[in-house]
């Protein structure tokens, strides 16, 4: 599903080049569950942004399915991202003046889904994450864990083949973290590809594969080495 061929990223600051991601060749198959770990500043967010079609690499190509992501026009890349990729962020990015239901409807609205179908899909997805009784609550009226589940429902509502998550358990208490990780397990069992940036050993341990970044370089590890990789 995802193929990175000699992808790298450099930034130029004050006349000097800073390498955020060293040349990387990587394949991630359909349905894989991958954790990306490493110290702050190691290139995790840069890699996730490139995978999500949001940050053009300095060199190399990235293929999503049959499409070369960064050879597309900006508008075509935006359409591809909207159709195939879901995002979950640590900060949730919920719209504060919209209800939980309306927040989940938002990407469906932007995707041109008819209003009645928007409401049905949003309601069903909120029920799936255990928030069927919170559809009319604003984000400020929800707990942190409930807000994260609204964010998860918003992603699932568009039925993406690929989900990218950035520190999805970072702000959660242990009970809510387990609920979210159980949902990730379920999502993975449905055949979706799941890529998670995390500092949380419990989160990384659920993945099939762990990519550890150090100074922009990747070390690839199979399942079972997550705790060592995060440490």
Q: What angle do CA 74, 80, 83 make, to 5 degrees?
A: 140
pLDDT for position 127:
95
Average pLDDT of the chain is 89
The candidate with the shortest Cα–Cα distance to 128, out of 184, 206, 183, is 183
CATH superfamily of 2-230: P-loop containing nucleotide triphosphate hydrolases (3.40.50.300)
What is the residue extent of each domain of the chain? 2-230
Q: What is the pLDDT of residues 127-139, one digit of tens each?
A: 999 999 999 999 9
Confidence of residue 228 (pLDDT cuts 50, 70, 90): very low
The two tokens of residue 17 are: 């080049």
Confidence of residue 222 (pLDDT cuts 50, 70, 90): low
pLDDT for position 175:
85
Confidence of residue 73 (pLDDT cuts 50, 70, 90): very high
Mean pLDDT calculated for residue range 7-25: 88
Buried b (16+ CB within 10 A) or exposed e, 162-199: bbbbbbbbbebeeebbebbbebbeebbeeebbbbbbbe
For the CA atoms of 188, 114, 94, 164, what is the dihedral angle to 10 degrees? 30
169 has a pLDDT exceeding 80: yes
């Amino acid at each position: 599903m995802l193929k990175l061929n000699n992808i790298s990223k450099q930034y130029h600051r004050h006349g000097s080049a800073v390498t955020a991601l060293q040349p990387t060749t990587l394949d991630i198959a359909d349905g894989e569950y991958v954790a990306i770990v490493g110290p702050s500043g190691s290139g995790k967010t840069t890699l996730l942004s490139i995978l999500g079609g949001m940050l053009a690499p300095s060199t190399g190509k990235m293929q999503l399915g049959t499409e070369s992501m960064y050879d597309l026009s900006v508008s075509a890349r935006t359409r591809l991202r909207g159709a195939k990729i879901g995002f979950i962020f640590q900060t949730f990015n919920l719209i504060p003046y919209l209800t939980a239901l309306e927040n989940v409807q938002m990407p469906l609205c932007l995707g041109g889904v008819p209003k009645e179908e928007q409401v049905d899909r949003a309601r069903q997805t909120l029920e799936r994450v255990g928030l069927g009784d919170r559809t009319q609550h604003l984000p400020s009226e929800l707990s942190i864990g409930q807000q994260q589940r609204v964010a998860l429902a918003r992603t699932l509502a568009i039925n993406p083949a690929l989900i990218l998550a950035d520190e999805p358990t970072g702000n959660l208490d242990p009970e809510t973290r387990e609920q979210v990780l159980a949902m990730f397990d379920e999502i993975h069992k449905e055949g979706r590809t799941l890529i998670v940036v995390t500092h949380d050993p419990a989160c990384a341990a659920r993945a099939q594969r762990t990519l550890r970044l150090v100074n922009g370089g990747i070390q690839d590890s199979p399942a079972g080495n997550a705790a060592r990789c995060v440490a």
